[in-house]
Amino acid sequence: MTRNDEVLARARDWLGTPYRHQASCKGAGTDCLGLLRGIWREIHGDEPRVVPAYTADWGEPTGQEVLLQAAQAILQPVVQGQEVPGDILLFRMRPGAVAKHLGILAETGSVPAFIHAYSGHGVVISPLSGPWQRKIAAIFRFP
C-alpha cells in the first residue's frame, strides 16, 4: 500500500463525521483542517505544529496565506496535472481570496471526486466538478 493509498483509506474512515469548526475527532467532529490533522496523527503520530485558534475567515482580513504557507512548509508539492488519489487539494473559495479550504482527492478520471469536511454537511465525498477544479490553488502530498 502506498502512502497515498493509506491517506485515502484513512480519509474514507472519516466519512460521516459531523462538521465542527476547529475540531479534529473522527466520528465526533471536524473541519477541513481537522480532517487532515487527524489523518496526519493516524499516520505520523504527533502533529508537526501546534495549530492556534482560527476563525472561519482564516487570513482573509489580513490577506495572509496562512494555510498555504503551512502546507508548503510541511507537505510535498505536486504539479497540477500529476495529482493522484490521496493527494491534498487546497482551494481558494473566491478568485483573489486566500486559500482556506482543504480536501483529499478520492477519484480521478471521468468522474473526479474529493473528500472534505464541509460546513453543514460533515465529512463527505463531493464531485470535483468544474467549479471546484477552478478553485484549486495548490496540490500537496503527505510525506
Q: What is the pTM of this model?
A: 0.94
Q: Which residue in 46, 8, 30, 32 sits closest to 90, CA to CA?
A: 32
Q: What is the pLDDT of residues 77-125, one digit of tens each?
A: 999 999 999 999 999 998 888 999 999 999 999 999 999 999 999 999 9
Q: What sign for the dihedral angle of Cα 137, 141, 142, 143?
A: negative
What confidence tens digit (pLDDT) does each residue in 39-66 have? 999 999 999 888 877 777 665 677 789 8
Domains of the chain as residue ranges with CATH: 3-141 (3.90.1720.10)
104 in Cβ contact with 15 (< 8 Å): no
Please, what sign has the CA dihedral across residues 107, 27, 19, 71? negative
Q: Which of 39, 49, 41, 51 is nearest to 6 (CA)?
A: 39
Per-residue pLDDT reduced to its tens digit, 126-141: 999 999 999 999 999 9
Residues 98, 121: Cα–Cα separation, whole Å = 22
Contacts of 61 (CB under 8 A, 6+ apart): none
